[in-house]
Amino acid sequence: MGAFPRPVLAALAAAERLLTRRAGASVVLADPEDLGGSDRSVVARARVARNPFALPRTLVVKHYLADPDPGLPDPFHHEVASCQLFTALPTEARPSPVLIAHDPVARLLVLEDLGRSSTLADALFGPDPAHAKRCLLSWARALGRMQAATAGRENDFGALLRRQGERAWRDPVADDARAALAGVSELLEEQLGIRVPEAARHEAQDTARLLGGTRYRAFSPSDTCPDNNLVTSRGVRFVDFEWGCFRDVVLDAAYFRVPFPACEASFALPHGMAATMLDAWRSEIAGVWPDLDDVELLERRLLDAQLLWVWLCTWWLLPRITERDGPLGADPTRTPRISTVLAHYWREMAGSAEALGLRASADLGIAVADVLRDRHVDAPPSLPVYPAFRSVA
Residue range 14-28, pLDDT digits in tens: 999 999 998 888 999
State residue 92's pLDDT score.
84
DSSP states of 307-333 = HHHHHHHHHHHGGGGTT---BSSS-TT
Which is more confidently placed, 376 or 54?
Answer: 376
User: Domain ranges in the chain?
Assistant: 6-112, 118-392
What is the architecture of the domain spanning 118-392?
Answer: Alpha-Beta Complex (3.90)
| pLDDT for the residue numbered 55 | 83
For residue 75, say if its preceding peptide bond is cis, omega within 30 degrees of 0.
Answer: no
Question: From the CB of residue 330, how many other CB atoms can be counted at a distance below 10 Å?
Answer: 8
Q: What integer is the mean pLDDT of 299-323?
A: 96
Using the predicted structure, report yes or no on whether residue 311 has a pLDDT greater than 90. Answer: yes
Q: Are 6-112 and 118-392 the same fold in CATH?
A: no
Which of 367, 321, 361, 362 is CA-nearest to residue 341? Answer: 321
pLDDT of residue 393: 53
Helix then strand count (H, E) for the chain reads 12, 10
Across the range 317-336, mean pLDDT stands at 91
Residue 234 or residue 84, greater confidence: 84
Domain range 6-112, CATH class = alpha beta
348: pLDDT confidence band, cut at 50, 70 and 90?
very high
How high is the pLDDT of residue 3?
60
Q: What is the pLDDT of residues 127-171, one digit of tens each?
A: 999 999 999 999 999 999 999 999 999 999 999 999 998 987 888
CB within 8 Å of 117: residues ≥ 6 apart: 230, 231, 232, 237
Quick check: 104 pLDDT over 90?
yes
86: region left, alpha or beta (phi > 0 left; psi from -120 to 50 alpha): alpha
pLDDT score of 139: 97
Q: How far is CA 68 from CA 6, 43, 78, 173, 201, in A?
A: 21, 18, 11, 17, 36
**What is the pLDDT of the chain when averaged over all its residues?**
93
Q: Residue 322, Cα to own-chain centre: how many angstroms?
A: 26
pLDDT at 272: 96
Phi, psi of 63 (to 5 degrees): -120, 115
pLDDT at 4: 65
H helices of the chain, in order, are 6-23, 75-87, 120-124, 129-150, 154-164, 174-192, 198-205, 250-253, 273-285, 295-317, 338-355, 359-375
pLDDT tens track for 364-381: 999 999 999 999 988 899
The two beta strands, 41-50 and 58-64, are antiparallel
What pLDDT is attached to residue 66? 83
pLDDT at 287: 96
